Amino acid sequence: MRAEAARSSVAGHRLAPIALVVAGGLSVQFGSAVAVLLMPRAGALGVVTLRLVLAAAILLIVCRPKVRGYGRADWGTIVAFGTAMAGMNNLFYLSASRIPLGAAVTLEVLGPLILSVVASRRLVNLLWAGLALGGVVLLGGGGFERLDPLGAGFALAAGAMWAAYIVFSARTGRRFPQADGLALAMAFGAVISLPLGIAEAGDKLLVPSTIGLGLGVALMSSVLPYTLELLALRRLPAPTFAILMSLEPAIAATAGFLVLHQALSATDALAIALVIGASMGAVRTQTRRRDAL
């Protein structure tokens, strides 16, 4: 009985970071669907500004991070993390304003997929990444020429920034206690985005109802998911985390269907199954590797 309880405890400990990633994905994609509804009021860049500024304010109040005692390398990590965060969000929202949410995330997830292949030292991860890539392509209908070219380009650029986000989120988690590093990086990202949002939306950002919706987007798409991912990356290898990001197109397609009434086809469902299968395979491979050690 004790042995079974111990095994159950170990399994739960190993699955915990995976659950954090999945929960973060659900939160961020449904938050993105709400953000799309908000874009007619404040524009894509205005929504990003509201999201990052409000999220930074919440994290700074809750975490109260110290600003002394850190070296140049620590602050360099914060600047890189905040820049990646701001770039990823601005580029993605510009994409989502031009192409469907599921397609935008499908293209964006290519960044983490490429990272998983580059960072992994195991040949089997190439199989899972390839399977996930097949699902990504299938979810795009076998090609993306039907999409707005500029929107597709924004999504691909957001994917590159997403890969950078994963790398610097892991570094930030190792260098800073709790979520202090995240709060500081979020504040830096908000400062970068603020002029862009003001230029596009102006005083529309001050409308109370818009601020209220922006607060919801900030909580769902920034505060909760980024905190969960930061915690997960302290215990989960970057290649496995990157492949788990393959779940994002499936979650985004579901959010687009439920919130934005963007229909799912049989091909979309098959693509989602491939992506989920790849993610499960990556997790099982990592678990077996740890069992063997």
Per residue in 79-110, pLDDT (tens digit) is 999 999 999 999 999 998 988 887 888 788 87
Q: Helices 2-63 and 266-292, interaxial angle, to 10°?
A: 110
Identify whether 86 is part of a domain: yes
* 8 pLDDT higher than 50: no
Give mean pLDDT, residues 52-72: 91
Domain count, the chain: 1
Which residues form the domain of 126? 19-292
| pLDDT(36) > 60 | yes
Domain membership flag for residue 24: yes
pLDDT digits (tens, 9 = 90+) for 261-288: 877 677 777 877 787 777 777 666 655 5
The mean pLDDT value of the chain amounts to 82
Phi first, then psi: give them for residue 237, nearest 5 degrees: -60, 145
| Res 286: pLDDT | 59
Residue 72 CB contacts under 8 Å (≥ 6 apart), including other chains: none
Residue 5 has pLDDT above 60, yes or no: no
The more confident residue out of 57 and 148 is: 57
Residue 6 has pLDDT above 50, yes or no: no
Look at 75 and 146; give whichever has higher pLDDT: 75
In a domain, 5, yes or no: no
Task: Identify the band that residue 173 occupies on the pLDDT scale cut at 50, 70 and 90.
Answer: confident
- Split at pLDDT 50, 70, 90, the class of 289 is low
Residues 6+ apart with CB under 8 A from 272: 135, 139, 249, 250, 253
Q: Is 51 among the domain residues? A: yes
173 within some domain: yes
Helices in the chain by DSSP H: which ranges?
A: 2-63, 72-96, 101-108, 110-119, 124-139, 149-175, 180-201, 208-218, 224-233, 238-244, 247-260, 266-292
Percent of the chain with pLDDT over 70: 84
Domain annotation covers residue 268: yes
pLDDT band of 10, cuts 50, 70, 90: very low
DSSP assignment, residue 100?
A: -
Residue 13 lies in a domain: no
In-domain check, residue 7: no
Mean pLDDT, rounded, for 14-30: 84
pLDDT at 47: 93
